[in-house]
Structures are given as structure tokens and as C-alpha cells.
Amino acid sequence: MSDNIQSVTVLSKTTWTPNLFSFTVTRPDSFKFTAGQFVRLGVNPSQLQYYKNNEQSAVDEAVNEDIFRAYSIVSSPFDEVLEFFSIVIPDGAFTSQLQHLQVGDELLLNTMPFGFLTLARYQKPEPKDLWLLATGTGLAPFLSMLQDLQTWQDYEHIVLAYSARTIEELAYLDKIQQLEADFGALVDDPAKLIFVPIVTREPMEGALTERLPKLLLDNSLQERAGISLDTDSAHVMLCGNPDMVEDTKETLKTLGFVMNRRGEGNIAVENYW
């Protein structure tokens, strides 16, 4: 086993829908990361309690191997535990096993953090507005950023647009509300958090209903946020479904935004899918 691979223990699990769940694990003392980064988690299905209690599956050689996948971290860089947000992919080699997690199960953690979806990639000083555009579990890195006090100190407005197919798939709503209250009390002039929920397959009071590219093109998202989306004053980060990321990135380019490279540019995306 690599020196970077450590065993971690599942501490809790939250089921949002039959296909969405969150879980926390112990954090190795030496593990450090920057808000927005991801890690590789590993599971050996035969070691999960679910399979230990099912003799037929436990002896199935197909599940008796370590499987690793990339996961953005939900928790703050300063938290004592690590939290992750997962979708169950039907017949997926990893998530179809991970959904059976129980408290006390052991997972593997590659302690080398990856990814450049971090606010540090932007050169100082920052523009005044930060736009965080997420679908599904792509919310994870943005929750981590919103638990970092520096984020609230560096921007005037933070727009969090979070899109899901159904109302029940909008996870962490209470946490988002609590973050605004908690961090607003910590600094004299905190950023104003503007939360815009989006539900595309059923009506929800107060939510927008179209895909992010269309909402940007027809100005609906900007109108709901109450601020303009200006190339001179905004950083935009995208995380979630690869189709959304690609389509929204191209839409932003038509609006005059450019990809961030070497500190220059407005758009940052994550490409670990």
C-alpha cells in the first residue's frame, strides 16, 4: 500500500434521497487540503459490514478489490472530520458499493489532495463578486469554501446557484442558511450570500426552473441575484455534471468571460469526472 494511503473510519451517514447521501470519516492528523480540492477515496466492498453480513456477496471475487474514485471535500479545511457528498450511480463499481456504508466501516483515503478549483488560483486583489454555480454533488467544494472565513472577507457578494432535478435533491439547505448566519457574525463587513435554488423537473416556490446556461443568457439568474454578472467584477466557478460545466463554460465565454490560467481570467472549473 502506498505511503499516501491511510485507513479512515465512517463516523456518520446522511441519506438525502435513494440516490444521494453524505458521510463523514475520521481525518488523519497529518492531512491538509485547501477548500475546493478533492481526494481519492477507496473502498473494498468485501470489507463493508453490509457484505460481511451477506455470505454470497462476501465471497464474490468481483467485489474483493480496492476501488478508488475522486471526491470533493464538503468540510472546512479546519474541521476535525472529513465530509463527502455522493450520488449512487446504477451499476457503478464504486458508488453502488459505497451506498452500503455503515458507521464503523473502514475506507481508504489517498492523503494527496488534488485540484485547482480554489480561490488561491485567482490573483489579488479579487473582484468584488464570487459566483458559485453547481449541480448535484458539485455543491461539495463550494460548501467547503463557504466554511473558510477568508472567502467572506475577500468578496462583497457571493452568489451560490445550486441546481437539482427535484426538490428533495436540493441537499444541505439548512447548512447553507446556517453558514450565512455564522460567518456573518464573525466579521464586521462579511460578504453577502445570495442563494439561488434551481429545480428543473418540478415547480418549487422561489426557485428558478431552467438550466444554468439558459438562465445566464436570458439574464434570469442575474436578475434573481440582484447583481450584474460583469467580467470586470466577477469570478465564476463551476462544478457538477460534465454537460452543465461544458455548456455553462461556453455560455460564459459568449458573455465575455475567459478561462482562468496562471491567475488570469474569470472562469474556474473542476475536471475530475
Tell me the CB-side half-sphere exposure of residue 51, using CA atoms within 13 A.
23
Using pLDDT thresholds of 50, 70 and 90, give the confidence band for residue 273.
Answer: low
Alpha helices in 71-186 (DSSP H): 95-98, 140-145, 149-154, 173-184
Using pLDDT thresholds of 50, 70 and 90, give the confidence band for residue 225.
Answer: very high
Given this model, what pLDDT does residue 261 score? Answer: 87
Residue 7's alpha-carbon distances to 38, 192, 212, in angstroms, are 17, 39, 38
> Under a CB-based contact definition with an 8 Å cutoff, are residues 8 and 27 in contact?
yes
Q: Which CATH architecture has domain 5-114?
A: Beta Barrel (2.40)
> Under a CB-based contact definition with an 8 Å cutoff, are residues 198 and 215 in contact?
yes
Query: How many whole angstroms separate alpha carbon 145 and alpha carbon 167?
Result: 24
Query: How many whole angstroms separate alpha carbon 32 and alpha carbon 271?
Result: 21
Q: Please check the confidence at residue 195 and state whether its pLDDT lies above 60.
A: yes
Given this model, what pLDDT does residue 190 score? Answer: 74
One-letter amino acid at 116 equals F
Instruction: Give the largest CA-CA distance in the chain.
Output: 61
Given this model, what pLDDT does residue 95 score? Answer: 76
Residues 6+ apart with CB under 8 A from 206: 197
119-269 CATH choice from 3.40.50.80, 2.40.30.10, 3.40.109.10, 3.20.20.210: 3.40.50.80
Task: Tell me what the mean pLDDT of segment 4-10 comes to.
Answer: 94
The number of residues in the chain equals: 273
pLDDT digits (tens, 9 = 90+) for 90-124: 777 777 778 888 999 999 999 999 998 999 888 76
Given this model, what pLDDT does residue 189 score? Answer: 76
Q: Which residue has the cell 422561489?
A: 206
Q: Please check the confidence at residue 52 and state whether its pLDDT lies above 70.
A: no
pLDDT digits (tens, 9 = 90+) for 132-155: 999 999 999 999 999 999 899 889
Given this model, what pLDDT does residue 127 score? Answer: 75
Instruction: Tell whether the torsion through CA atoms of 27, 33, 115 and 169 is positive or negative.
Output: positive
Given this model, what pLDDT does residue 272 score? Answer: 55
Domain residue ranges of the chain, discontinuous segments joined by +: 5-114, 119-269
